[in-house]
Chains A and B, each alone.
Chain A
């Protein structure tokens, strides 16, 4: 565990916390972006270039922009009168703690399951490509189908409104 890891982890956590705690919705969106960037840098620090860049491309380039667009197009950038924090925050905290505990347990349990080796595994983009269209081709196709369905759904939703406008 290098100091760089701790720095990046702190950055990611700060971004996540800011996203939850900031009052202004656009600020929260930008803070989420910081968290995404921190996560991407963590991937890069682990020499997972493909995952890191895909994280930036997809999450910062698309998801963050999507969130921001959604906020701006729905007047979400105005502060609600009743405060921005939920009244059931304690319940949320409990659920979050539960999820964290399960994930932590899974990670800790997997340490013993995976053989420890000091050799850094070098995964090239080529290997990832072969794996995606070889061993994992079925999940890939299922995801592709899902996304196509979602796209068609989005088009239909957009078209529906147009028909009514006529």
Chain B
């Protein structure tokens, strides 16, 4: 019969029309600023810097190794290494970033900086409401704006943060055990105690040195191509 398809369609839309007033599950709309869906645990937007404790400057995990700066594909990270050192989480003196800026207008949220960081110092944030009326200064975040506490990290990525904490605790325990063993050995040998604690630190820095040239060679390889184009 001609026209019955139209009537069927009209009945369907009428059902939708009245149904949307009756049953709430028909309406899938989330009225965003008032209502929010909790972000997924794996969500990632832009990177942030993790610090331990309460003081962001003292507890910052970043040691200004500059791997992320070199690895960053769009080159949106700017790091200045400090001249002095401060103790890191195991109590070893380390450099810290005197300047750590990320231009989030350039950042492409690839998470490579997080992957390459050997110190678990940079992680991905889930905060996405970053609109500002200042295109340049407002989107260039310095280290103070970038730093978030470890508790915040636990709040947004609980599973990942627990793994990281476990790993760090393990490393710290290992370092402490080594130091203890070294101290005991030193006591046993009754040698001078001043030079001994530096041994594990040397091993650490040699590992760092192994990765750094790699990164440097990578950037060297890409540079001529970039310059040519």
In-complex A–B contact (CB below 8 Å): no
On A, residues with C-beta under 8 Å from B are none
Tell me the B residues contacting A by CB distance below 8 Å.
none
